[in-house]
Every structure is written in structure tokens, then in C-alpha cells.
């Protein structure tokens, strides 16, 4: 059993960071206001003044601040990414979350004391890959993609000195992290290089007599009937006509909720649980952080008898995308 399972909460701005700290996060992950992170949405994220305030607020209360620099720089914008690493180090963040090996090499050379985490965007799903990043760049933690079963996560944990962080809650996608081309195919903008999947400029919602329509760059990707729950405007969660049938041809909008797996995650030695959602508001961060703090504390006290309460599940279901919450790949009997 891991001594301390860290709760890693999202913050798209200073109020979200403060509420995460106030409600029991051990770490808050953030991003700068540009394409250096994978939630580069208009008006979101931290400018220099707010990240400095956020770091001060968190550190005074014993909470760590992580900065995601988890997009892939290209040769013509490389300096913007290295400047972001320099800035994060100068501001005294507790770790940077990187996906690009070139940037890891830069960070290791220029800021040897800066702690490096491997982003989920790095898409390392086995211990050999994680150990490679550890040996070459000294990464100290890896965030696992949401594609592994519990047995596979355990196998990774057992075979690496690197701390393992897993996703515990939040939106799911097709999970081809770091390599997904669906957004770029439709909008010209990808989460991998520009930091945005389905950027706002490409999204249009319209209430029509047939229901609410979602268009991505003019292409109708979904239509929601009266009272039907909506999802994010991404191509992977659209409904398409295939052989005269219209349905979720790639995947149905759903949220990951692993609350009931907490004792198992602790037993196998996972170091941290990540909550998805830097694009969400402070209200979401408050609601989700509270529930997960309570759950982790309760599980640590008595893992044998841990069972998620109905109130926790109701609170998490309320803020979920899609009609269902799933255990994702963790609960997969096959390998």
C-alpha cells in the first residue's frame, strides 16, 4: 500500500487553483496562456501574475503546483517552449509535465533541479518506455494513458522506479493521446501541437426544431433531442450515419469514475490520482476535489471496508459528461 496517494486537481485559473487547495488537493496542475499546454482555450489559463500568486497561495498551504508543458514544439516555435520551461523553473513550480523528449533534454540540461513528469500526451503505456524516459531524462513521475487494465497498471508499477499517476475522474476521449489527428482533420488545430481539441472558433451550437445541433467547422457532428444530455463538441463523440444507421460510430460520450477502485489503486502502489478538467470552472473543481479528498481519506483509514457513498457518486455523476460513468479500461477482464 502506498503511504500517500496524492490527489492532483486541475486549475484553469487562479480561483480554481485556490478552491482546489482549500478543498484538499495535494497538487494542482496548471498551464500557461498559450499553445505550450493541451488546454489552450480562449481566455483560459494563467498569465505570469496569476501563476505567481497561485504558487505562493499553494506553497503557503503545503500544496504543490505543477505546470503542463505537454504539447509538441516544432522547429519554428521551439524557443517559445524552452522559454516556458525557463519561466516555470524561475517561478519555482514543483514539477513540469512534459511530453516532448527534446524539451525533456532541454529541461534536464538547463534546470537539473527541476522535477520532470511524463505527460499522458507522451503516451507511454509500458514500463520499458517509462524507464527509457527515466534513464535518459530523469523523469520522476509518469501519467499513464487511460488504456490499461488494473493488472497492467500493477505490472507497470512493479517494474519501474518512476512514480505512477493515473486518471481517476473526468472526461474520456479516444485516448490516442499525443497522436490523435481527429481535431486537426476537421479544424486544422490539434491538441498535440496547438494545444486545443475542437477550438472554440470551429464550434457552433444551434437550437433547431429537430434539436440542438453541434457543428465543427461547419460539419454537423451531433444533434441532441429534447432533454438528451449533450457532450463536448469533438469528432470522436459525434454521431454519424453508417450503413443507414446513425449512432456513436467512434465512442459514446462518457466519463471515467474510478472511485470504487481506490483501495485497489492504493494497494498496487499508485502514487497519485489525477482529476481531468482544466477547462472546467471553479465550481467543478470544488465539487470534485471535495468528494475525492473525502474518499481518499476514508479509504486510507479503512481500505477493507471502503465503499463509495451514494452522495459522492451523485455529486460526481452530476458534473459528468455523457450519459454514463465508466471504469474505463481498468475494469477490463481481457488483456
Partner 1 sequence: MLNNLRLPDFTIPAPLTRLGNRLPQLPPTLALVTTLNLALGRLIPREPLEMLIGKRFTIRVLDAGMTLRFSYGERGFRPLFDASKPDLTISARTRDFIALLAREEDPDTLFFDRRLLMEGDTDLGLLVKNTLDGIDLPRFDPARLTPQELLHRLRARLATPHNA
Residues that bind partner 1 (CB under 8 A): 12-16, 18, 41-44, 50, 53, 199-201, 203-207, 212, 224, 227-232, 279-284, 286-287, 318-322
**DSSP structure class, residue 46:** B
Beta carbon of residue 313, minimum distance to partner 1 (angstroms, whole number): 15
Q: How far is the CB of 185 from partner 1 (least distance, A)?
A: 19
Instruction: State in angstroms the smallest separation of the CB of 209 from partner 1.
Output: 14
Dihedral angle sign, alpha carbons of residues 106, 166, 31, 203: positive
Residue closer to partner 1 (CB basis): 66 or 319: 319
Q: What is the smallest separation between the CB atom of 168 and partner 1, expressed in angstroms? A: 18
2: phi > 0 → left, psi -120 to 50 → alpha, else beta; which?
beta
- Cell 507511454 sits at which residue? 124
Of 142 and 256, which has the nearer Cβ to partner 1?
A: 256
User: Toward partner 1, which CB reaches closer, 123 or 286?
Assistant: 286
Going by C-alpha positions, the residue among 247, 234, 29, 11 that lies closest to residue 119 is 29
- Looking at the Cβ atoms of 103 and 254, the one nearer to partner 1 is 254
The Cα–Cα gap between 121 and 71 comes to 7
Nearer to partner 1, 78 or 224 (CB): 224
- Nearest Cα residue to 28 out of 2, 53, 3, 1: 53
Cβ atoms 296, 262 nearer than 8 A: yes
Nearer to partner 1, 12 or 122 (CB): 12
| Cβ atoms of 260 and 327 closer than 8 Å | yes
Minimum distance from CB of 230 to partner 1 (Å)?
A: 5
Judged by beta carbon, residue 122 or residue 168, the one nearer partner 1 is: 168
CA atoms of 50 and 29, how far apart (whole Å): 14
| Beta carbons within 8 Å of 310's beta carbon, 6+ residues apart | none
Which is it for the CA torsion 67, 155, 289, 258, positive or negative?
A: positive
What is residue 112's three-state secondary structure?
coil
The whole-angstrom separation of Cα 204 and Cα 236 is: 16
Cell numbers for 23, please give them: 478543498
Least separation in angstroms between residue 326's CB and partner 1 is 16
Nearer to partner 1, 18 or 274 (CB): 18
Q: How far is the CB of 143 from partner 1 (least distance, A)?
A: 22
In the bound complex, what is the minimum distance in angstroms from residue 47's beta carbon to partner 1?
9
Amino acid at each position: 500500500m502506498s503511504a500517500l496517494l496524492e490527489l492532483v486537481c486541475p486549475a484553469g485559473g487562479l480561483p480554481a487553483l485556490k478552491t482546489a487547495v482549500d478543498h484538499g488537493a495535494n497538487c494542482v496542475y496548471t498551464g500557461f496562456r498559450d499553445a505550450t499546454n493541451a488546454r489552450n482555450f480562449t481566455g483560459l489559463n494563467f498569465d505570469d501574475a496569476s501563476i505567481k500568486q497561485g504558487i505562493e497561495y499553494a506553497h503557503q498551504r503545503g500544496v504543490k503546483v505543477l505546470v503542463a508543458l505537454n504539447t509538441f514544439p516544432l522547429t519554428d516555435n521551439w524557443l517559445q517552449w524552452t522559454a516556458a520551461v525557463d519561466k516555470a523553473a524561475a517561478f519555482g513550480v514543483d514539477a513540469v509535465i512534459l511530453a516532448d523528449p527534446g524539451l525533456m533534454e532541454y529541461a534536464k540540461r538547463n534546470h537539473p533541479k527541476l522535477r520532470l513528469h511524463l505527460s499522458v500526451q507522451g503516451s507511454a503505456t509500458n514500463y520499458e518506455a517509462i524507464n527509457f524516459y527515466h534513464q535518459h531524462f530523469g523523469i520522476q513521475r509518469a501519467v499513464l494513458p487511460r488504456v490499461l487494465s488494473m493488472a497492467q497498471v500493477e505490472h507497470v508499477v512493479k517494474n519501474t522506479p518512476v512514480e505512477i499517476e493515473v486518471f481517476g475522474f473526468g472526461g474520456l476521449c479516444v485516448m490516442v493521446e499525443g497522436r490523435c489527428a481527429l481535431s486537426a482533420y476537421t479544424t486544422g488545430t490539434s491538441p498535440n501541437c496547438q494545444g486545443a481539441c475542437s477550438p472554440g472558433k470551429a464550434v457552433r451550437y444551434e437550437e433547431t426544431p429537430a434539436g440542438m445541433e453541434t457543428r465543427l467547422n461547419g460539419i454537423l457532428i451531433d444533434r441532441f433531442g429534447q432533454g438528451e444530455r449533450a457532450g463536448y463538441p469533438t469528432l470522436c463523440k459525434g454521431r454519424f450515419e453508417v450503413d443507414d444507421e446513425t449512432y456513436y460510430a467512434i465512442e459514446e460520450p462518457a466519463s471515467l469514475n474510478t472511485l470504487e477502485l481506490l483501495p485497489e489503486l492504493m494497494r498496487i502502489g499508485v502514487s497519485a490520482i489525477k482529476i481531468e478538467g482544466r477547462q472546467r470552472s471553479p465550481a467543478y473543481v470544488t465539487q470534485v476535489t471535495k468528494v475525492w479528498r473525502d474518499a481518499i481519506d476514508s479509504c486510507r483509514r479503512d481500505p477493507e471496508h471502503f465503499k463509495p457513498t451514494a452522495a459522492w457518486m451523485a455529486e460526481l455523476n452530476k458534473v459528468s459528461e455523457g450519459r454514463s460513468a465508466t471504469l474505463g479500461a481498468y475494469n477490463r477482464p481481457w488483456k
